[in-house]
């Protein structure tokens, strides 16, 4: 199982939000490049880099994110606001993978076109949900789509890489959503678990679900777990 630190960027700073809310922001640093290098040196398998300003449609940190890729050697995926073909193509010019959320639920035909162009393995579908119901547009808009149905349909379309976040647990340090994770990991897909990691045993629990990877966010930044600890358990 891959250990994947998150680097969430807002106004050029490394931050963490609680349940995706900008008003519940904690700043952890002013240099995302240094943060990326630090996590790589500590043994991260991959990085999950999120442009929160793009997610919330109030700016872009893409040039800064591109600079990060010039300073690291491990793979990294980019998420946040990737909602049209042009921005996805330009991001894949330097990124290993892109994470697509809203677009997958609003224009699946375009996402399938992108998959045929760039390869399914380079497109990670972000299935953000609030206790089993898909949410989009930076978690601000609830749909009527069930998480289980969404994953099944997207898998039938040939997608294999998924990032699954229960937004009600994100940044809350209350443990991962093992019920939904167990259900999804039985489908022979690469599922990255995100949201709720609070202590080393949570990583063990996610591993038991047979997840492909786990995102470390607030617990890592608050020193409740280290990458070294997580790697031993993964």
pLDDT tens string 92-126: 999 999 999 989 999 999 999 999 999 999 999 99
Name the residue with tokens 């998480």: 147
Contact status, residue 36 vs residue 6, Cβ threshold 8 Å: no
Give me the active site residues, please: 8, 128
Cα(6)–Cα(76) distance, rounded to whole angstroms? 10
pLDDT at 21: 80
Contact status, residue 77 vs residue 47, Cβ threshold 8 Å: yes
The residues, ordered by sequence, that sit 6+ positions from 93 with a Cβ below 8 Å of its Cβ are: none
pTM: 0.94
pLDDT tens string 119-158: 999 999 999 998 899 998 877 788 889 999 999 999 999 9
Q: What is the gyration radius of the CA atoms in the chain, in angstroms?
A: 16
pLDDT tens string 214-232: 999 999 999 999 999 999 9
Q: Quick one: which H or E segment has residue 11?
A: none
pLDDT at 168: 77
**Would residue 25 be called left, alpha or beta, if left means φ above 0 and alpha means ψ between -120 and 50 degrees?**
beta
Quick one: DSSP state of residue 213? E
* Helix boundaries (H) for 80-221: 85-92, 102-106, 108-118, 147-156, 178-185, 200-208, 218-221
Supply the mean pLDDT for the chain: 93
Between β-strands 141-146 and 133-136, what pairing exists: parallel, antiparallel or unpaired?
Answer: antiparallel
49 φ, ψ to 5°?
Answer: -105, 120
- First-to-final CA distance of the chain: 5
- Exposed/middle/buried for residue 61 (C-beta within 10 Å: 0-12, 13-18, 19+): buried
């Amino acid at each position: 199982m891959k250990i994947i630190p998150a680097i969430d960027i807002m106004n050029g700073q490394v931050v963490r939000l609680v349940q995706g809310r900008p008003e519940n922001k904690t700043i952890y640093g002013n240099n995302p490049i240094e943060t990326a290098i630090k996590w790589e040196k500590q043994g991260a398998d991959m990085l999950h880099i999120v442009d929160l300003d793009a997610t919330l449609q109030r700016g872009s940190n893409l040039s800064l994110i591109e600079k990060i890729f010039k300073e690291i050697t491990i793979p990294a995926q980019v998420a946040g606001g990737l909602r049209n073909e042009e921005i996805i193509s330009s991001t894949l010019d330097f990124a290993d993978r892109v994470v697509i959320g809203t677009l997958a639920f609003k224009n699946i035909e375009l996402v399938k076109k992108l998959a045929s162009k760039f390869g399914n393995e380079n497109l990670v579908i972000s299935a953000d949900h609030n206790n089993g119901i898909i949410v989009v547009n930076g978690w601000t808009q609830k749909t009527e789509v069930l998480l289980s149905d969404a994953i099944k349909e997207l898998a039938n379309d040939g997608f294999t890489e998924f990032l699954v976040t229960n937004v009600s647990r994100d940044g809350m340090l209350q443990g991962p959503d093992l019920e939904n994770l167990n259900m999804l990991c039985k489908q022979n897909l690469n599922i990255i678990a995100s949201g709720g990691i609070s202590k080393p045993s949570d990583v063990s629990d996610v591993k038991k679900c047979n997840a492909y990877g786990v995102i470390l966010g607030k617990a890592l930044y608050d020193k409740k777990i280290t990458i070294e600890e997580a790697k031993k358990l993964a």
